[in-house]
Amino acid sequence: METIQSQVDELITQMTPAEKAGQLTQYFYFRLPAGAEPALDFDAEEQPRMVESALREGVAGSLLFVTDPAEINRLQRLAVDGNRLGIPVLFGFDVIHGLRTILPVPIAMAASWDPQTIERGQSVAAREARAVGIHWTFAPMVDIARDPRWGRIIEGAGEDPYLGAAVAVAQVRGFQGGELGAPESIIAGPKHFAGYGGALGGRDYDEVNLSDSELWNVYFPPFKAAVEAGAGNVMTAYMDLNGIPAAGSRWLFTEVLRDTWGFKGFVVSDANVVRSLVTHGFAADLIDAAARAVNAGVDMEMAVADPAYAHLPEALESGVASEQAVDASVRRVLEAKVRMGLFEAPYIDEDLAREVLADPAHREVARVAAQRSAVLLRNEGGLLPLDGGGLRSIAVIGPLADSKRDILGPWVFDYDLDETVSVVEGIRARAGEGVRVDHARGVPVVQRVFPSLFNMFGWNKPEDPEGFEQEAEFQQAVDLARGADVVVVVVGEWQNMIGEAASRSSLELPGRQRELLQAVVGTGTPVVLLVMNGRPLDLRWPAEHVPAILDIWYPGTQGGAAAADLLFGDVSPGGKLPFTWPRTVGQVPMVYAHTRSHEPENQERRYWDEDSTPLFPFGYGLSYGRFEYANLTVEQPVITTGGTVTVSVEVTNTGDREADEVVQLYLHQRFGSASRPVRELKGFRRVTLAAGESRVVELPVGPNERRYWNAAVRDWVIDSSIFDVWVGGDSTAQLSTRFEVTKE
Ligand code: NOJ
């Protein structure tokens, strides 16, 4: 520790204000495919030249978006050889759910309710990233999302702070390994601090207004957990939080993050956010913007071009930026570079990089993750698993069924389509020789109207094949369904309809997919529906008319293989929903952990035109087993406020196949110094039980599970009260008991 500090101090004393500002600046660096139209405001020719000269002059501290190992070495050499102090650059990138090997999207990983699977997945992502020369990922996104119109719901862990915190911790561990700088690991950067998921109307980047209670009890906990797990970086949010732009909020970055939670790493702004302090009508000009961000505790600015932090020397000169703040920021950035070993080993071995990317073990991790994240939403009459022996023909229908690009989901750039398995390919491989597997798209690709930021990378855009004859293709799909023993229909959103800048005002299946599904169901052939999504979609019709529905999300490189494993029963689905699935967009936001409020007996009849219940509750998911819960007990029926109770329950798989269940514990405080939600998740464990097997699962409920932020006293409280406990397989669990908490 001391040596790191003295090495860093030594450098700081030699640095000019411009060099300090440079260390605090991160530039985008990418070359667009020929003919691409930049969606960001920058000159595609000039940008790389500008960044390279900044590297040579020692006024760029970090780059993002470079993933080619040879390019990384070349650019690193420009920095190390070029600048006076030989300070290497930190390479950051959005390694959200894999680099070459693509894992299921983050909301899917959360649906596994399995921290081990999540940690293992992100450690594979880290291993690949580090091998190509990336030191730092802008992940995990730990924003709570309660409005599925917001496209970035796909990047997080859903609506619940307890699950969100567990998933955040698993991801930080996966990315960073045991400690910052561990071999084959990268820095994790939980984002976007804070409240980004609360965007008004689900409109990306829109303002956010959150009550004190929501912030501390719902939106902050995953960040705090990620910080406690040792995350080395945190990224700011884009928008105004309660009227203050996040990146200018000293309260967020200094008082909460550092002073209250003890965060020791460095903070990066989201792209162009420091400049945006002017756009927001907050800072007077770029000098003011730079000063206010750095004074707030934002260490590094992520910028496309013309960064506000280039004005830090002027801001220091005039005294608006604090020298102490600037030096503290430089120190944090340099410390990260030292810890990551950049000074000793700035370059990477390109042969080793190729070897690591080709490691077949990574594909296996992705396949298991895809199996474990799928959620079985319906299975009437036990249609699933398919009877492999008795089938002669399977029709696989839908425009997403054979799309390798879509099965990977958004936020991937370095994937390999040759090793990506589509649903059609996965089913074909698993069904084997004797079974005919035919595919028809039925309906065309739907182009998103909104011009995606990522369209500029060309390859992310869905394309219709030449000469798609709408009516003929539709009819062909229906005919194929009619003649098959079973139909697998794949519906959902194209990958660029969800993610950043992909908000929606409806949750309908895009295009004519529902019509296609209805026509296929109309043939009378049994239908299994696979849903490819990152947000809940309007499945009211299928939930009544399609016997089997399996949510496979965007399952990644091995998605098609995993889907086949699940369909044929080689493994049982065991994932659970990480959000409440509304019936219709008009119910949004809908969360299970609401307070009781007035007239609770009418809670389920709040709308006169639609039920007030969700289509599927939070925590819901079926399996090929059948689970029964019994003997719910609390070991200590009366405790004091600091005490812990152990809740135990016996879970039995009464079905005839091995399967997984996620045992969930929900808590409710009956009375106290604030109204508390009707129930809140406060414990869970995913278990595998053989047919007929029983297991006793114990879950502790301690003071941490009962403390909450009280908006009246603006502090944490633990009330004495009576607590109801429910344990079961989803948030509507009925088996309950209670315990009492008395004053110390
Ligand atoms: C903007 C996004 O909000 C952020 O999550 C991402 O990491 C950066 N762009 C860099 O791509």
DSSP string spanning 496-544?
Answer: GGSSTT---S--SPSTTHHHHHHHHHTT-S-EEEEEE-SS----HHHHH
More confident residue, 598 or 237: 237
Atom 7, ligand 1: which residue's CA is nearest?
Answer: 138
Site to substitute for ligand 1 among 235, 239, 273, most atoms within 8 A of C-beta: 235
Atom 9, ligand 1: which residue's CA is nearest?
Answer: 271
What are residue 647's DSSP bridge partners?
Answer: 634, 699
The finding on whether 94 has its CB within 6 A of some atom of ligand 1 is yes
The finding on whether 239 has its CB within 6 A of some atom of ligand 1 is no
Site to substitute for ligand 1 among 302, 413, 452, 460, most atoms within 8 A of C-beta: 302
Mean pLDDT, rounded, for 669-679:
97
Give me ligand 1 centre to Cα 163, in Å.
Answer: 23
Ligand 1, atom nearest to 191 Cα: 5
pLDDT band at 33 (very low <50, low <70, confident <90, very high): low
The finding on whether 138 has its CB within 6 A of some atom of ligand 1 is yes
Q: Which pLDDT belongs to residue 305?
A: 87
CB environment 386-419: b (16+ within 10 A), e (fewer): beeeebebbbbbbbbbbbbbbbbbbbbbbbeeee
- Summarize pLDDT for 503-527 with one digit per residue, the tens: 999 999 999 999 999 999 999 999 9
Q: Where are the alpha helices (DSSP H) in 60-205?
A: 69-82, 106-111, 115-132, 161-176
Do residues 189 and 302 make contact, with C-beta atoms less than 8 angstroms apart? no
Mean pLDDT, rounded, for 10-16:
97
Tell me which residue has tokens 């699933």: 384
Give me ligand 1 centre to Cα 144, in Å.
Answer: 16
Ligand 1, atom nearest to 141 Cα: 5
What is the C-alpha to C-alpha distance for residues 62 and 332, in angstroms, rounded to an integer? 13
The finding on whether 271 has its CB within 6 A of some atom of ligand 1 is yes
Give me ligand 1 centre to Cα 375, in Å.
Answer: 28
Give me ligand 1 centre to Cα 251, in Å.
Answer: 22
Structure-token pair, residue 199 = 């965007």
Give me ligand 1 centre to Cα 234, in Å.
Answer: 12
594 burial level (CB within 10 Å; 0-12, 13-18, 19+): middle
Give yes or no for residue 36 having a pLDDT over 80: no
Structure-token pair, residue 73 = 């070495």
Structure-token pair, residue 526 = 């049994």
Site to substitute for ligand 1 among 41, 91, 93, 94, most atoms within 8 A of C-beta: 94
Give me ligand 1 centre to Cα 636, in Å.
Answer: 47
Structure-token pair, residue 570 = 């080689």
The finding on whether 143 has its CB within 6 A of some atom of ligand 1 is no
Do residues 581 and 691 make contact, with C-beta atoms less than 8 angstroms apart? no
Give me ligand 1 centre to Cα 271, in Å.
Answer: 6
- The one-character DSSP state at 132 is H
Q: Is the whole model's pTM more than 0.95, yes or no?
A: yes
More confident residue, 258 or 178: 258
Give yes or no for residue 39 having a pLDDT over 70: no
Catalytic residues: 270
Site to substitute for ligand 1 among 143, 236, 270, 304, most atoms within 8 A of C-beta: 270
Q: Which pLDDT belongs to residue 599?
A: 85
Q: Which pLDDT belongs to residue 641?
A: 97
Atom 4, ligand 1: which residue's CA is nearest?
Answer: 270
Give me ligand 1 centre to Cα 196, in Å.
Answer: 12
Give yes or no for residue 569 having a pLDDT over 90: yes
The finding on whether 204 has its CB within 6 A of some atom of ligand 1 is no
Ligand 1, atom nearest to 138 Cα: 7
Give me ligand 1 centre to Cα 115, in Å.
Answer: 24
Neighbours of 736 (CB within 10 A): 14
Give me ligand 1 centre to Cα 22, in Å.
Answer: 20
Q: Which pLDDT belongs to residue 447?
A: 67
- Summarize pLDDT for 687-733 with one digit per residue, the tens: 999 999 999 999 999 999 999 999 999 999 999 999 999 999 999 99
Give yes or no for residue 37 having a pLDDT over 70: no
pLDDT band at 45 (very low <50, low <70, confident <90, very high): confident
Q: Which phi and psi (to 5°) does residue 438 adopt?
A: -115, 150
Kindly report the average pLDDT of the chain as a whole number. Answer: 95
Atom 2, ligand 1: which residue's CA is nearest?
Answer: 270
Q: Which pLDDT belongs to residue 448?
A: 62
Give yes or no for residue 588 having a pLDDT over 80: yes
Give me ligand 1 centre to Cα 405, in Å.
Answer: 21
Atom 3, ligand 1: which residue's CA is nearest?
Answer: 270
The three-state secondary structure class of 63 is: strand
Single out the residue of 670, 622, 664, 625 nearest to residue 647, CA to CA: 664
The finding on whether 191 has its CB within 6 A of some atom of ligand 1 is yes
Do residues 653 and 626 make contact, with C-beta atoms less than 8 angstroms apart? yes
pLDDT band at 449 (very low <50, low <70, confident <90, very high): low
Site to substitute for ligand 1 among 96, 141, 175, 500, most atoms within 8 A of C-beta: 500
Ligand 1, atom nearest to 65 Cα: 11
- The one-character DSSP state at 116 is H
The finding on whether 152 has its CB within 6 A of some atom of ligand 1 is no
Ligand 1, atom nearest to 192 Cα: 5
Give the DSSP H/E element, type plus range, for residue 21: helix 17-23
Q: What percentage of the chain has pLDDT greater than the value 90? A: 90
